[in-house]
Amino acid sequence: MSHGKISMKDIAEELGISINAVSLSLNDRPGVSVETREKVFETALRLGYLQSREKYQILYARNRLGLFVRKKNFQSRFYSRVIYGIEQEATKENFSILTRFLEDRDQWLECLQKNFFRGILVVGNIDESMLEEIASYHIPMVLVDVESYTAEFDTILTQNHAGTYHSVSYLLDNGFQTIGFFGDYSFSHSNKERFWGYLEALADGLGSLEAAIQMSDRCSILEKTNDLIIDRNVAAVEEIIRRHQDRLPQAFQCANDEHAAVFATALKDLGYRIPDDISLIGFDDSDVGTIVLPKLTTLHVKRDRMGREAVSRLITRLRNPDLPAAETALPVDLVIRDSVAKLPEKERA
């Protein structure tokens, strides 16, 4: 590669293709494959070629959507399926996706300043101040599984509250008298809604919000567990369980399937039987729910559809910029498997 100013020749050498193929790609002309065109633009961006050439920036942004996500969310089972749906729908609509991690502020800020995106998809939790900064560039944007409390955006969510209300009601209807919540409800919008759904189901089942709060205070484990779960730190979760072992309930509604899977492993390592001693319900219906034993009763989230709906909404916004912001919450379904015990009639009394 030559020193100093980057040229088409540098891009061609980097990719092992002809200068003509680079030129055709950058000028959006026929004669190269979609895959080659994408590689050329990505390499041109990485090497700094696009940054000083407004003509190519416009061509680059014409069919480009930005995906803004945290690194850990990008790697998670839940969001990987959401992102898969995003990519599938974007490809169908002839758009490409450029991912920018929220932790790498300089990278996404440069993309915003150079107007590299027709639209933006923000997936998963994000600081409100960061969201406001991204929004200040006035690029059409859709939020996925996260909600702003200070501004109106098109938003694609899951019926988290209704989901845990249904699952906890299922436990109550089947005779469970002590039910806790496992997970850090303050970590994300989804976790908050899932916790409030749990609490409301208890309030309706027990007859008052006061009784529900008392049970939650006694039976729930609400410590900051998210990093422990992502890192599968079973030993740390076991220590948390030991601190609560004198007040463990008959059942837990877990923040998600990953929480339930690690929690189940820790409980079993400490000698508890699932579901005979403690029953568990997850949320998301990720593949981990069918790998863990016993297989996990959970709530099925239409993750692929979340991604597809987000892209569809963003394209609608691009075509109709004056439409009012809209929120869509996709329904969830209770999936009964093996992690909830069938209580004897005498325990249901």
Task: Pull the structure tokens for residue 228.
Answer: 């422990």
Sheet holding 154-158, edge to edge: 96-101, 64-69, 119-123, 141-144, 154-158, 327-330
The pLDDT confidence band at residue 194, using thresholds 50, 70 and 90, is very high
- For 39-60, the pLDDT digits (tens) are 877 787 778 787 767 666 666 5
Mean pLDDT estimate for the chain: 90
Domains of the chain as residue ranges with CATH: 8-158+305-331 (3.40.50.2300), 160-301+334-348 (3.40.50.2300)
- For 110-141, the pLDDT digits (tens) are 889 888 899 999 999 999 999 999 999 999 99
Going from the C-alpha of 186 to that of each of 22, 41, 134, 158, 162, the distances in angstroms are 48, 40, 23, 17, 18
Q: Spell out where 210-278 has E strands.
A: 251-254
pLDDT for 348: 47
pLDDT for 349: 46
Three-state DSSP class for residue 132: helix
Length of the chain: 349
pLDDT for 264: 96
Mean pLDDT of 23-48: 78
- For residues 45-62, one letter each, b for 16 or more C-beta atoms within 10 angstroms of the residue's C-beta and e for the rest, the string is beeebbbeeeebbebbbe
> From CA 312, how far away is CA 318, in angstroms rounded?
10
Whether residue 167 contacts residue 253, with contact meaning beta carbons closer than 8 Å, is answered with yes
Q: Side-chain half-sphere of 52: how many Cα atoms within 13 Å?
A: 6
- For 226-265, the pLDDT digits (tens) are 888 888 899 999 999 999 999 999 999 999 999 999 999 9
- For 157-176, the pLDDT digits (tens) are 999 999 999 999 999 999 99
Task: Pull the structure tokens for residue 104.
Answer: 């790498």
pTM check: above 0.75? yes
